[in-house]
């Protein structure tokens, strides 16, 4: 299956919401309902309903074309590809997000993506909190042939990251992915640890981390807004990755997020396999969301 086919399959549930069979301009409730069901959000929905009413589509095809254009217009400015600055040695990517969002899996997939481009990639198993997190990342490392820096369970995460970054520098790695814990005892605990991690990274390279990617699970829907808000305020986020788009009807959440935060979107995850992650493009997103 090609990436676009996978994406379409992933967005199938959202696309069924947009499979209008007729257009009745005096009765656009079902269109509005589709946007809301897909988690597009109230703001974008009301903006779009006004535009649709002005453009007066006569057929479902015309209506879908209008929606397609509106999606691309909104999402093109935040579309980013997975490119890294290989002069940094290493380009440091800090992966953050709540428990279960898909941080560790995304690191494995992204690591594989860069490996295939011939880059030297290493991982840091910075989630020393959750049992099994280190082993999970080690498996990815073995699979793609990347070095994984680890510490004992319960060890200080910032300490491990400090040592790993120093060694990664000596090794002249192109990219270093840092995995982090998703949930500690409470929210301020988690944020304090992340802040400490950023501080120790800066002791070694004040330009790092070069990317702070917040991983979001698409199935949480509107709750993603609160997550972006919290992580942005507390430690700053340079971009988003959305996982688990497969099997949810909430694919429109990226529109709501863009409306509110305008953060670059780097990649979409649509499954648990190594190739189930790719760069985000507005056109592919619009096409698959509408099932075209």
* Site of interaction with ligand GDP (CB under 6 A): 97, 99-105, 182, 215, 243-244, 246, 269-272, 276
In the window 116-145, what residues touch Mg ion (CB under 5 A)? 127, 133
Residue 104 in contact with Mg ion, rule: CB under 5 A: yes
- Could you give the angle at which helices 282-289 and 3-10 cross, rounded to 10 degrees? 50
Query: Judged by CB, which is closer to ligand GDP: 131, or 170?
Result: 131
Alpha carbons 191 and 210: distance in angstroms, whole number: 19
Partner from Mg ion, ligand GDP, none contacting 39, C-beta within 5 to 8 A by type: none
Angstrom distances, CA of residue 93 to CA of 3, 110, 205, 212:
24, 10, 13, 6
Query: Judged by CB, which is closer to ligand GDP: 239, or 269?
Result: 269
Partner from Mg ion, ligand GDP, none contacting 120, C-beta within 5 to 8 A by type: none
Partner from Mg ion, ligand GDP, none contacting 251, C-beta within 5 to 8 A by type: none
CA 50 to mean position of chain CA atoms: 30
Q: Describe the strand order of the beta sheet including 175-178 as a list of residue ranges.
A: 147-149, 121-124, 175-178, 91-96, 211-217, 239-243, 265-269, 277-279
Alpha carbons 170 and 184: distance in angstroms, whole number: 31
Query: Judged by CB, which is closer to Mg ion: 105, or 258?
Result: 105
Find the shortest distance in angstroms from Cβ 56 to ligand GDP. 39
For the purposes of burial, counting CB atoms within 10 Å of the CB of 100, is it exposed (0-12), middle (13-18) or buried (19 or more)? middle
Partner from ligand GDP, Mg ion, none contacting 134, C-beta within 5 to 8 A by type: none
Query: Judged by CB, which is closer to Mg ion: 99, or 171?
Result: 99
In the bound complex, which residue of the shown chain has the CB atom lying closest to Mg ion? 104
In the bound complex, which residue of the shown chain has the CB atom lying closest to ligand GDP? 269
Find the shortest distance in angstroms from Cβ 109 to ligand GDP. 8
Other CB atoms within a 10 A radius of the CB of residue 232 amount to: 15
Find the shortest distance in angstroms from Cβ 176 to Mg ion. 16
Radius of gyration for the alpha carbons in the chain, expressed in angstroms and rounded: 20
Partner from Mg ion, ligand GDP, none contacting 74, C-beta within 5 to 8 A by type: none
Q: Spell out the alpha helix ranges (H) of the chain.
A: 3-10, 12-17, 29-37, 42-55, 60-75, 103-116, 133-144, 157-171, 187-204, 223-234, 253-261, 282-289
Find the shortest distance in angstroms from Cβ 158 to Mg ion. 17
Find the shortest distance in angstroms from Cβ 75 to ligand GDP. 19
Give the residues lining the site for Mg ion (CB under 5 A): 103-104, 127, 133
């Amino acid at each position: 299956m090609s990436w676009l086919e996978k994406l379409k399959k992933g967005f199938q549930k959202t696309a069924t919401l947009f499979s209008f069979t007729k257009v009745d301009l005096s009765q656009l409730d079902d269109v509005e309902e589709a946007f809301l069901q897909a988690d597009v959000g109230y703001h974008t929905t009301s903006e779009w309903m006004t535009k649709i009413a002005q453009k007066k589509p006569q057929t479902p095809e015309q209506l879908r074309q209008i929606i397609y254009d509106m999606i691309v217009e909104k999402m093109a400015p935040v579309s980013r590809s997975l490119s890294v600055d290989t002069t940094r040695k290493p380009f440091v990517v800090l992966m953050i997000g709540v428990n279960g969002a898909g941080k560790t899996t995304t690191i494995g997939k992204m690591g594989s993506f860069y490996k295939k481009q011939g880059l030297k990639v290493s991982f840091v198993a910075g989630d020393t909190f959750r049992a099994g997190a280190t082993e999970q990342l080690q498996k990815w490392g073995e699979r793609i042939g990347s070095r994984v820096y680890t510490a004992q369970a319960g060890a200080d995460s910032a300490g491990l990251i400090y040592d790993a970054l120093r060694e990664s520098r000596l090794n002249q790695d192109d990219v270093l992915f840092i995995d982090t814990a998703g949930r500690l005892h409470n929210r301020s605990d988690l944020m304090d640890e992340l802040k400490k991690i950023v501080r120790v990274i800066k002791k070694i390279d004040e330009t790092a981390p070069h990317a702070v990617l917040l991983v979001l699970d698409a199935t949480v829907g509107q709750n993603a807004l609160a997550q972006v808000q919290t992580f942005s305020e507390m430690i700053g986020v340079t971009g988003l990755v959305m996982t688990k788009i497969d099997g949810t009807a909430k694919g429109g959440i990226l529109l709501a997020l863009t409306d509110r935060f305008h953060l670059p979107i780097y990649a979409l995850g649509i499954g648990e396999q190594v190739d189930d992650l790719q760069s985000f493009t507005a056109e592919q997103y619009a096409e698959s969301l509408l099932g075209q």
